[in-house]
């Protein structure tokens, strides 16, 4: 009986740790990127171009997700196969001011939205609102 309780405790603790992992990873990634941008002098309170990435094998589900997020002013960038197994990437963008906390909430929202459409949310990137320019151009430097 004692061995069974110990085993259950270990399993519960392991499951609990893994269930909390995505939130920790999201927060660490957001903080790391924002800190690096701030150290380079980038005004993270300015409008920036945020890219969001989704993956799935069902093109129709990705199209439905794209239509849904278009209502929230996300802009379609591309949807294309990325491997021989039929995996497709959907890349959307949005220009906006984004605090760390708002981006964390956006990550959780897009993760849930992806689940709703039976695809995977894979993360984000950030750049200059002019995609032809690097993020560290003078117009974004906070003095």
pLDDT by residue (tens digit) across 18-52?
333 333 334 568 888 899 888 988 888 899 999 99
pLDDT by residue (tens digit) across 116-137?
999 999 999 999 888 788 876 5
pLDDT by residue (tens digit) across 79-107?
999 988 999 999 999 999 999 999 999 99
Q: Indicate the length of the chain as a whole number.
A: 143
pLDDT at 9 over 70: no
Pinpoint the alpha helices (H) of the chain: 2-39, 59-70, 100-116
User: pTM for the full model?
Assistant: 0.75
């Amino acid at each position: 009986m004692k061995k069974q309780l110990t085993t259950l405790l270990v399993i519960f603790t392991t499951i609990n740790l893994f269930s909390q992992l995505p939130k920790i990873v999201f927060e660490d990634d957001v903080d790391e990127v924002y800190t690096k941008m701030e150290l380079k002098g980038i005004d993270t309170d300015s409008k920036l171009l945020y890219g969001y990435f989704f993956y799935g094998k069902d093109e129709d589900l990705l199209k439905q997700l794209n239509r849904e997020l278009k209502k929230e002013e996300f802009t379609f960038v591309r949807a294309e196969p990325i491997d021989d197994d039929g995996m497709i990437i959907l890349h959307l963008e949005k220009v906006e001011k984004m605090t760390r906390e708002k981006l964390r909430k956006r990550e959780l929202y897009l993760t849930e939205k992806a689940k709703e459409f039976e695809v995977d949310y894979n993360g984000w990137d950030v750049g200059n609102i002019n995609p032809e320019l690097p993020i560290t151009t003078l117009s974004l430097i906070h003095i």
